[in-house]
A and B are shown apart, each in its own frame.
Chain A
Amino acid sequence: MAEAPGPDGPVVPLLEARGLVKHYGSVLALDGANFTAYPGEVVALIGDNGAGKSTLVKSLSGVIRADRGEMLVGGRPVSLGGPLDARRHGIETVYQDLALAPDLDAAANLHLGREIYRWWRPLHVLNRTEMRRRAVAAFADLGIELPDVTAPVATLSGGQRQSVAVARAVAYASQIIFMDEPTAALGVVQRERVLENIRRVRERGITVVLISHNMPEVLAVADRVEVLRMGRRVARFIASQTTIEQLVGAMTGALSTEESA
């Protein structure tokens, strides 16, 4: 992992959050949280339950707005008014629940909200052939084998559904993909397949932000790890030089490498 940029490396971060604060009523979910993702890396975001991972990811993917703080994409400040804004910056999210429509087929899900049309455009007549063709190509690109792209997603296995959601994100993400607990609901074999997908995505030069609870998995697939505790970033690690004990220590507060913001 020599090419992975270090925390203080010269590379301009692709995505940077500075001092994000988010209140939910009287609960302080983010307390000046920082986050950095560099181009072409897999960075894991870990933390105990309630550490603020979900809130941070939702802020970064435009689902919610932080009360205070700054977000920069490619060094330039941005303001995300919604998930569509995030998409415009090339940021896609694979949600934990996958956000698929089970009655629609894989091709339809892949193009949901971004359908391709034919004939006279104002009629919005779907171009199924083209969407199917692109779906097959998108799955093939990731080395995903689906028995049938025209079968409703509900008939696919958990791992295959996961693949559809990942392929959708990859098809549109030009910069970053957030993956929220992508392996939480999967069996051993399918889990391995998802990690394989993550590596393939990185090979395409897209940054992956992996939110996970699973320490061995994080160390196996991530280049770097950022640790969140009580709404703040408390530590950053290079995965190849880190042990599970260090990660757990940082998550529980026994260890801190980050100066308080």
Chain B
Amino acid sequence: MTRLAPEVPARSLGRSPHVLRRVLAAGEAWVFAALVVMMVIFTVLSPGKFLTLNDLSLNAQTTAPFLLMAVGETFVIITAGIDLSVGFVLVLCGVVAGEYYLNNGGPNAGAGTIWVGAILGLLTGAAFGALQGIAVAKLKIPPLIATLMGLGVAEGLSYLITGGSDLRSVPNALVNSIGTGGLGGVQWLIVISFLATLLFGLILAFTRFGRYTYAIGSNPEAARRAGINVDRHLIKVYALSGLLAGLAGILDLGYFGTTTISGHPLDNLTVITAVVIGGASLFGGRGSMLGTFIGVFIPELLATGLIILGVNQYWQYILTGLVLGAAVYLDQIRRRLRERV
């Protein structure tokens, strides 16, 4: 009779366990709550100082490259994959664009050159990602290893192309627009990264591409039998992650006015942390762009809040680590809760 049991409470108890389950099941609900709690605490403890417009915009600007990479990483993690290469692909794409600028006018390069260099950088990222996707989908190399391999290749290529020293002859026009310019007072970095987040958030939530991403992460064999071309979709997802890392690389190049070859060794972990805090499951099938968006800013807001409170800001790393642990623990509980048969 044990098999009968699950049927009975669902009927007789009405909707209450169901509602609870739905709230717990909403991946971004708890991270949103965590964000609100954090804001309230910081605001109460230091009224008027936390979250001034300046803080927000500085936060958003330094976080923009992470946000872009996290958007791609969200798709990858929902397919039950992982992309460790993002920070190194960012560097590689910046290097490719930087090398092109160096050979085509350097600091005085015009808009045409800037666009060509940027597109070269983006294509590099997309192609690099697609190759990793092929390694995962066709060669059946586990994503962790495939992108670890890609990480090494991207890093090596960056050093080989530049000879080990950063390229500094970035077009002034690029630095002036990306670095300091903006649209209606909002820096380009913020505009571009937020628009990309919105666009790909909509794609994830409302289109076939998003639906197949969830389906593949949830049960690849079911997706295959339903006629979905799983391999091709995985390649696209990894290519998207590479493309967005490439976009982050171009923005980074403009923001700093130089390539930053050795400046991104832990970007991948920062990005994965953000996505997981945002409610995406490393087992695949779950996650949302809103969650990722909040997940990216939680460590930043923690840091800002701690500085304003005068607490040693290195507590940020400890707290972020704890939040990450809590996020994964919650995911485990959710899984156990719903496996009711």
Given contacts A113-B227, A151-B22, A186-B3, contact A157 B10 (CB under 8 A): yes
Q: How far is the CA of A156 from the CA of B225 in the complex (A)?
A: 21
Q: How far is the CA of A125 from the CA of B203 in the complex (A)?
A: 8
Task: Give A99's nearest chain B residue, CB to CB.
Answer: B222
Q: Is A174 an interface residue (CB 8 A)?
A: no
Q: How far is the CA of A40 from the CA of B6 in the complex (A)?
A: 35
Task: Give B205's nearest chain A residue, CB to CB.
Answer: A126
Q: How far is the CA of A95 from the CA of B18 in the complex (A)?
A: 28
Q: Is B318 an interface residue (CB 8 A)?
A: no
Q: Is the CB of B3 within 8 A of A123?
A: no
Interface string of B308-341 (1 = CB under 8 A from A): 0000000000000000000000000000001111
Q: Is the CB of A155 within 8 A of B340?
A: yes
Q: Is B21 an interface residue (CB 8 A)?
A: yes
Nearest-CB distance from A145 to chain B (Å)? 10
Nearest-CB distance from B217 to chain A (Å)? 7
Nearest-CB distance from A156 to chain B (Å)? 8
Q: Which DSSP category, helix, strand, loop or mixed, fits chain B's interface?
A: helix
Among B286, B338, B341, find the residue whose CB has the most chain A CB atoms closer than 10 A.
B341
Among A98, A102, A115, find the residue whose CB has the most chain B CB atoms closer than 10 A.
A102
Name the B residues within 8 Å of A189 (CB-CB): 3-4, 7
Pick from B164-172, B207-215, B244-252, B264-272 the stretch touching chain A: B207-215
Q: Is the CB of B338 within 8 A of A83?
A: no
Interface string of A96-124 (1 = CB under 8 A from B): 01111111100010001111010000011
Q: Is A190 an interface residue (CB 8 A)?
A: yes
* A-B contact sample (4 more), CB < 8 A, given A99-B226, A188-B3: A101-B222, A104-B218, A113-B226, A124-B208
Among A98, A158, A161, find the residue whose CB has the most chain B CB atoms closer than 10 A.
A158
Q: How far is the CA of A20 from the CA of B239 in the complex (A)?
A: 43
Task: Out of B3, B208, B219, B286, name the residue touching A99 (CB < 8 Å).
Answer: B219
Q: Is B191 an interface residue (CB 8 A)?
A: no
Q: Is B306 an interface residue (CB 8 A)?
A: no
Name the A residues within 8 Å of B206 (CB-CB): 125-126
Q: How far is the CA of A98 from the CA of B226 in the complex (A)?
A: 11
Q: How far is the CA of A125 from the CA of B211 in the complex (A)?
A: 10
Q: Is the CB of B340 within 8 A of A157?
A: yes
In the complex, chain B residues 181-236 whose Cβ is within 8 Å of any chain A Cβ? 206-209, 211, 214-215, 217-219, 221-223, 225-228
Task: Give A150's nearest chain B residue, CB to CB.
Answer: B22
Task: Out of A147, A152, A187, name the residue touching B3 (CB < 8 Å).
Answer: A187
Interface string of A142-182 (1 = CB under 8 A from B): 00000110011011111101000000000000000000000
In the complex, chain A residues 67-87 whose Cβ is within 8 Å of any chain B Cβ? 83-84, 87
Task: Give B209's nearest chain A residue, CB to CB.
Answer: A124
Q: Is B121 an interface residue (CB 8 A)?
A: no
Task: Out of A95, A115, A155, name the residue touching B208 (CB < 8 Å).
Answer: A115
Q: How far is the CA of A123 from the CA of B227 in the complex (A)?
A: 19
Q: Is B285 an interface residue (CB 8 A)?
A: yes
Q: Is B25 an interface residue (CB 8 A)?
A: yes
Name the A residues within 8 Å of B208 (CB-CB): 115, 117, 124, 126
Total number of residue pairs linking A and B with CB closer than 8 Å: 96
Q: How far is the CA of A125 from the CA of B208 in the complex (A)?
A: 6
Q: How far is the CA of A114 from the CA of B226 in the complex (A)?
A: 8
Q: Is the CB of B225 within 8 A of A95?
A: yes
Nearest-CB distance from A166 to chain B (Å)? 15
Task: Give A191's nearest chain B residue, CB to CB.
Answer: B3
Task: Give B25's nearest chain A residue, CB to CB.
Answer: A152
Task: Out of A102, A103, A123, name the residue touching B207 (CB < 8 Å).
Answer: A123
Q: How far is the CA of A98 from the CA of B2 in the complex (A)?
A: 22
Q: Is the CB of B226 within 8 A of A112?
A: yes
Task: Give A61's nearest chain B residue, CB to CB.
Answer: B225
Q: Is the CB of A159 within 8 A of B7?
A: yes
Nearest-CB distance from A90 to chain B (Å)? 15
Chosen A-B contacts, 8 in total, with CB atoms closer than 8 Å, are: A101-B219, A102-B285, A103-B217, A112-B215, A113-B223, A156-B341, A157-B7, A188-B4
Name the A residues within 8 Å of B228 (CB-CB): 112-113
Nearest-CB distance from A22 to chain B (Å)? 19
Name the A residues within 8 Å of B339 (CB-CB): 154
Task: Give B281's nearest chain A residue, CB to CB.
Answer: A103
Q: Is the CB of A103 within 8 A of B225?
A: no
Q: How far is the CA of A251 from the CA of B94 in the complex (A)?
A: 68
Name the A residues within 8 Å of B338 (CB-CB): 152, 154-155
Name the B residues within 8 Å of A157 (CB-CB): 6-7, 10, 340-341
Q: How far is the CA of A116 from the CA of B270 in the complex (A)?
A: 37
Q: Is the CB of B3 within 8 A of A190?
A: yes
Name the A residues within 8 Å of B4 (CB-CB): 187-189
Q: How far is the CA of A99 from the CA of B221 in the complex (A)?
A: 7
